[in-house]
Amino acid sequence: MKVSQKTNAPLYEAVKRASLTDARFCTPGHSGKGDDGLFASAPYDLTEVEGLDNLSCPSGAILEAEILAAKAQGCAHTLFATEGSTVCMHIALSIAKERGNVGFIGDMHKSFFGGCALLGIEPTGFESVEEFLSKPLKTRNVSSVFYTSPDYFGNVKEDDELIRECEIEGILTVVDAAHGAHFAYSPLLPEPSAGRADISFCSLHKTMNAFTGGALLNLKDGSLYDKALYYRQLWHTTSPSYVIMASMDYARAKASESGEKIYERIEKERERFERSVRDCAFTVVKSDDISRLVLRFEGFDASEANSYLVGKGIFAEAAIGDKLIFILTEGNVDRLSAVYEALKEYRPTKRLAPEPCVKREKVRAVGAVTFVSPDEAEGRVCMNEIGFYPPGTPFIGRGEVFTAEDVGLIKKNAGNTFGLVNGKAVVLQ
């Protein structure tokens, strides 16, 4: 499906026009040309030439695209980023730090903890929205609160009361909605965080028709706009990808035009899939997001099913525990039947090992770092969050003391563990 000629995608159109220039004596060095299919998009990979605006100080096509994105997301302002939601997280943390102590609710992506480490923030954690709301303002002792919604399994937090109370108490609400960029484009999807929370951010490339790295920082009102622009200048690369930005503008235009029909079709195909898999070795897990399909192989390691599908030319999003996750889009929903055909005779054999219940000591993580092999980490103080990617949520945090169970998990999952440096654990010297 192509964007109609009437669709307003100013940055996308500007990049297309500029791509026709044949004599380029500017960066990037490929000059719009390439020898194979990898460089098919080379003509659109441009720099801040006349007519393409500048992300550091947008006033033309980029600003127009951001205004249209804000309108689509239902908020006052939207800022483009080409380095994913991570740079948006760091911008939001910089704003939050100015206000005072930072809190977070539930699991957070490693970019939150990495940003806190870079900014010298020691965040306060709360297990749930209910715990946060049950504590009086003085006990919470935070001026901002971060949380993730939707999570990796397509479920959103019930946060109406949280947002309402934080607004009354002057607490900044920041939502990592990286996997919810598409929510704005269909009534079949949950309500987007943009326009509700003070700050939210989402990654278009995760669920929409945009290239990897394209993300939006959304602001509910104009009070933080100048600060957000300022911190984007500090955090963001000065060489943003125009291919990514143009694809973001295109994705917004396409979803605005056809989003309702796209998700109606996804809902229909998902329902058909669910009816057909009743005798399979898995169950379909309910999620708030109809485009997030989660299959559960109860008691079995879903990575086995994932490897089985890879052998048949099918890539899932992730295998986490006994769950296998798929992201349904316009580009793949017609292949959902292939997933059924591949899995209808599949029977798992690899039992899922129970997760150890680990109680860790925590200390103040201040001082020089050194690097040790995982076998030498037990009893040492962790100085860099460690977890599995996906989903990017740490299981041991900065300042926590490594246990024997942690060492075993790291060695068992060395291929998808983040936070190690050259295979070594980062510990307090």
**Which pLDDT tens digit goes with each residue over 297-328?**
999 999 999 999 999 999 999 999 999 999 99
Contact present, 223 and 170 (Cβ < 8 Å): no
**8 Å CB contact between 289 and 150:** yes
Segment 137-148 shows an average pLDDT of 92
DSSP states of 235-294: HS-SS--HHHHHHHHHHHHHHHHHHHHHHHHHHHHHHHHHHHTTTSS-EEEP-S-TTEEE
Rounded average pLDDT over 153-158: 97
Q: What does the pLDDT read at residue 429?
A: 87
> What is the mean predicted confidence (pLDDT) over 258-281?
96
Position 278 confidence tier, pLDDT thresholds 50, 70, 90:
confident
Q: What does the alpha-carbon distance between residue 112 and residue 205 come to, in Å, rounded to a whole number?
A: 19
- How would DSSP label each residue in 377-399? -TTSBB-S-EEETTTTEEEE-TT
Instruction: Provide the token pair at 410.
Output: 């790291």
What does the pLDDT average to over 193-211?
Answer: 97
372 pLDDT higher than 70: yes
pTM of the full predicted structure?
0.92
* CA–CA separation, 352 and 320 (whole Å): 10
Q: What is the pLDDT of residues 2-32, one digit of tens each?
A: 544 555 899 999 999 999 999 999 999 999 9
* Of 33-47, 208-222, 362-376, highest mean pLDDT: 208-222
Look up residue 201 and give its amino acid: F
Cα maximum dimension of the chain:
64
pLDDT score at 1: 40
Q: What percent of the chain has pLDDT over 70?
A: 97
What is the three-class DSSP state of 160?
A: helix
CA distances from 102 to 23, 26, 98, 143, 281 (A): 50, 43, 10, 6, 44
In this predicted structure, what is the pLDDT of residue 364? 79
Q: Calculate the alpha carbon distances from 329 to 2, 262, 273, 341 in Å.
A: 15, 8, 14, 19
Model pLDDT, residue 227: 98
Q: Which residue has the tokens 């699991």?
A: 107
Q: Tokens 């897990």 identify what position?
A: 285
Strands 144-148 and 172-176, by their bridges, are: parallel
Q: Which whole number is the average pLDDT over 131-136?
A: 94
- pLDDT-above-90 percentage for the chain: 84
CA-CA distance, 260 to 290, in Å (whole number)?
13
Greater model confidence, 111 or 408 = 111
